[in-house]
Amino acid sequence: MGRKGISKVDLKRVKSLDLLTYYQNYEPDELIKNGWNDYSTKTHSSLHMSNGLWCYWAKNIGGKMALKFFIEVEGWDFLDAALYLKDLIDKQPPKIKTNQNTINNRPFRLPEPNINNATARNYLMLERGIDKEIVDYCIQNHYLYEAKRDHSIIFIGYDHHHYPQYAAKRATSSTLKIDVAGSKKENCFNIINDQSKVLHVFESAIDLLSYLTLLKKQGRNYLNENYLSIGGATILGSHIEESQIPTALETFLKRNPNIQKINLYLDNDKAGKDTTKKIIYHLNDHYIIHDNSPYRVKDMNELLKKKIKTNISIDDR
């Protein structure tokens, strides 16, 4: 006898269950509190949960839903995971902890800026190879700045009213990369030219700026088209038809209906390749899509640094 399915109503309930709420209600003994706003588990030291979201650093996977965690980290079949969570919810409706609810609804605030951007400029130009003119352009146009508290770089994303709604924080003295609390992923870092029908898509803001630098080195106009960072990538689950395109990309395309061509430059790893597959699967009938992701180096910044050392072509990815 075949397995039973799951109704749309029940699936909606399952998808509304975030991972931290799952652990708080159904596996509380697994939780380890690392700070007032950060949790991991005894089984998965690489798993961190904060602000209603989770990230599994060992595989570079993240999200909100408990369902996604069971599929992409634990390796469960979609239906098995959905029915398991449905049964838990039916037997014991989850209670959302008050302090978590407050965290999830924290207002977005940009970190206080430093009196200058010297550390950020030096990091981007000397450590990452980003062109000085491009760094200065981004600072002058309020795309990035240096935080006062820890001298990290804050990459800003704006909504359609040009109001800051997203910030990605990149440390200059460690490998820390996080979104500022309250950030709305649909407003990831981007540079727009509304006269262009072409969109270039990257995982991170630094990869985006690396590509602009490569264009400038070839004497090309680096502000001639549209450029978007999607704020990371995720591994594909068992069923590509159940997948979604990145929220930042979906929102950008809705706001910019003039886009006809999409060029992808995602990382040369499983998460990057899987996200490329998802984008092509869902959008190939509506846009001209080219996968220009690097295949000899990890990402666009490594390609830029290799270019600086060896003077290779931008096409030698």
List, as one string, the DSSP characters of 45-68: TTEEEETTEEEETTTTEEESBHHH
**Beta partners for residue 177, in sequence order:** 170
| Per-domain residue ranges of the chain | 8-104, 118-310
8-104 maps to which CATH number? 3.90.580
How many C-beta atoms surround the C-beta of residue 104 within 10 A?
17
Q: What average pLDDT does the segment 121-130 reach?
A: 98
CB 233 within 8 A of CB 266: yes
pLDDT of residue 105 exceeding 70 = no
Residue 167 to residue 41: CA distance in whole angstroms? 27
Q: What average pLDDT does the segment 211-232 reach?
A: 96
How many C-beta atoms surround the C-beta of residue 125 within 10 A?
16
**Beta partners for residue 288, in sequence order:** 261
Domain 118-310, CATH among 3.30.590.10, 3.50.50.60, 2.40.50.140, 3.40.1360.10: 3.40.1360.10
Residue 99 to residue 131: CA distance in whole angstroms? 44
Alpha-carbon torsion angle 140, 219, 292, 135, nearest 10: -20
Residues 6+ apart with CB under 8 A from 165: 108, 157, 158, 159, 183, 184, 187
Residue 164 to residue 162: CA distance in whole angstroms? 7
Q: What average pLDDT does the segment 3-25 reach?
A: 89
pLDDT band at 310 (very low <50, low <70, confident <90, very high): confident
pLDDT band at 98 (very low <50, low <70, confident <90, very high): very low
pLDDT confidence of residue 102: 38
Predicted TM-score (pTM) of the model is 0.69
> Which is more confidently placed, 5 or 101?
5
